[in-house]
Structure 1
């Protein structure tokens, strides 16, 4: 009896040692866990890392449970939150170059974007951006989606004049373009958009992909859904970890987090590709949505306006220019491959 008691005590001691050795990181997500594709990506990452790591565990929290969405960067940097799953475009008001690591108008689609990020200079520039801006964070690419829709409108848009005077929720660098074209833009978190549409505070919105937007119910108020998503041909998502917490992790745990993020990029992209067409069909057949394609002349205006915005931002901000020039150099080389290998898509 005495031996069995001592053995039990020994086992409890080992269990306690193992528990104390495991790092538990609290992670705020910018997207609610019930939101498809965006929200499920944060949940999926946590499930991935917790299933393969014995040295670190992540705990997922929805937006607002720890900090509001737009405060996550500061919270991770100062250590009040251990980690964040978000997209760098939310920090554009703090760091001019941030959106270049999230979504670039008329920029790279998912494959090209990942090539720059993982096999060219993107990841190094991404970390340097946070370092030079004084943020105490370690960043990892941790998700990506294909193009979004470019807007839900209450009324049909047939010319640039129809955009003038609209109040619209808009994300990232595309918002700079819309402002030049007479649209008043604001950046609202996902859960705040429908109420703003409903009470008339905004006339239109973009947020994400059809399946995600359907969950938020935009089709109840705005019946015209426009494509293509020129402002976000691909959107990259990030895992931010407080740098002190990151440096305290053993190398194996760090590598496991990196592997989990790479796996998350794959499943995040695949979920979007597999599930959006059904949402588009449901939107049109059950909810009375009209899917519209921007006329070529309007797309040309969006693009020329974006080129003006990019040139001005590069002239104003040295780091934006460095990243922008690097991305443009990469894209120029990529054309040799990208403009040759793919079959043309019929319109």
Structure 2
């Protein structure tokens, strides 16, 4: 009996030892600490806090093998400094929009939001199952940036502007100073609007001091968070300039390649979950904010006339022609996206019910 007890205890010790070894060998036994700089204040709903949720998911699912330190834009010298900081290895990763890099890579905004462009479904389809992500990575590689790019957030349509006065036609736009993002800014410049790109925290003070007369920023829930309803009472739709918006996680390529495959998979899964959650939250949370803007804050929700939408679309066609003539890669990406959308239309036009406005 003593012999059996000894054997039993020995097996128990060996078994627990095996369990401990398995636990410590999870994710290759590698402990990873990632510093991620966000281009958006992480207190902003969806736009900013999605990266916080994603970081929490990575830490929990890795059982502590991966820890994340989130940094606000000011921690790295502002959002414009993020790409260089990641590429050089100063920080491990950056979260934001490719549209911020238009001055460095003309095609970059096409991977974030496109005027009169695809909604979230076809945009993601082109990215993940067309040539989108391949071209996206190629853009960074060809420009000499040492980064790996992942898609991590998708936003539904934005509002297309907050104005202090009603805009009835293109004459009312002339001479305005306006915060505007991406390729939509080029369109507004065609309408004789002077544009500038400001971070979220800079917009309200700029409006208050008269540095700008009008602004667009994001969806109603995010615009409300920074108080735009207090300072401009005319909110225009639809968001012709951003029917959907994709946000990226760029990771220093050496850091990415040195991660265990299991940790790479966890980061990719966390990004994919963020895509689903950000779109669902974005779609679910706008109508109540719009009701509040009207009923509590006396905001007037306006819809652009067909005349104005046609003017914007004509200006966009001019911008596409100009950018395609200046940059070969812009032309290549635009043609690839356009072909995908043309082919997708066969499915879309037959599979979906026509929309009816009530």
Q: Aligning the two structures, in what range does the TM-score lie when normalised by the shorter sequence?
A: over 0.9
CA contact (8 A) 1:164 1:182 kept: yes
Change beyond 3 A, Cα 1:171–1:18: closer
The structure having more radius of gyration, on CA atoms, is 2
Alignment counterpart, residue 285 of structure 2, candidates 275, 282, 285: 275
Query: Are 2:252 and 1:228 equivalent residues in the alignment?
Result: no
Q: 2:141: which partner in 1?
A: 131
Asked whether the equivalents of residues 28 and 67 of structure 1 are also in contact (C-alpha less than 8 Å), the reply is: no
What's the offset of the Cα at 1:341? 1.8
Residue of structure 1 equivalent to 2:60: 51
Counterparts of residues 188-207 of structure 1 (less than 5 Å): 188-207=198-217
**Aligned 8 A contact 2:30 2:260 in 1:** no
Change (3 A) 1:59 1:19: farther
Please list every run of 5 or more consecutive structure 1 residues that lacks an aligned counterpart in the other structure. 1-10
**Matches for 1:164-243 after TM superposition, within 5 Å:** 164-243=174-253
The answer on 1:314 being equivalent to 2:294 is no
What does the per-residue CA deviation read over 1:193-217, in whole Å, with 9 as the maximum and x for residues that have no partner?
0000000000000000001000000
1:5 is matched with which residue?
A: none
Partner Cα separation in structure 2 for residue 251 and residue 192 of structure 1: 40
Number of the residue aligned with 1:26: 35
Work out which of the residue numbers 148, 172, 177 in structure 2 matches 1:162.
172
Aligned partner (choices 140, 157, 181) of residue 150 of structure 2: 140
Match of 1:8 in 2: none
TM-score normalised to structure 1 length:
0.93
C-alpha distance in 2, partners of 1:18/1:167?
A: 52
Moved more, 22-31 or 65-74: 65-74
Alpha-carbon displacement from aligned partner over 1:32-53 (angstroms, at most 9, x marks no partner): 1211110111111111111112
Aligned length: 335
* Residue-by-residue CA offset, 1:15-44 (whole Å, 9 max, x unaligned): 8x9998311010011111211110111111
List, as ranges, runs of 4+ consecutive aligned residues in structure 1 with deviation greater than 4 Å: 17-20
1:246 aligns with 2:256: yes
Q: How big is the alpha-carbon RMSD for the aligned residues of Structure 1 and Structure 2? A: 1.8
Residue pair 2:27, 2:263 contacting (<8 A) in 1 also: no
1:57: Cα distance to partner?
A: 2.6
Q: Are the equivalent residues in 2 in contact too, given 1:25–1:57 (CA < 8 A)? A: yes
* Unmatched runs of 5 consecutive residues or more in structure 2: 1-19
Q: 2:51 aligns with which of 32, 35, 42?
A: 42
Shift, 1:74, TM fit? 0.9
Is the CA contact 1:67–1:75 (under 8 Å) kept in the aligned structure 2? no
Which residue in the other structure is 1:336 paired with? 346
Equivalent of 1:109 in 119, 132, 140: 119
Please name the residue that 1:78 is paired with.
88
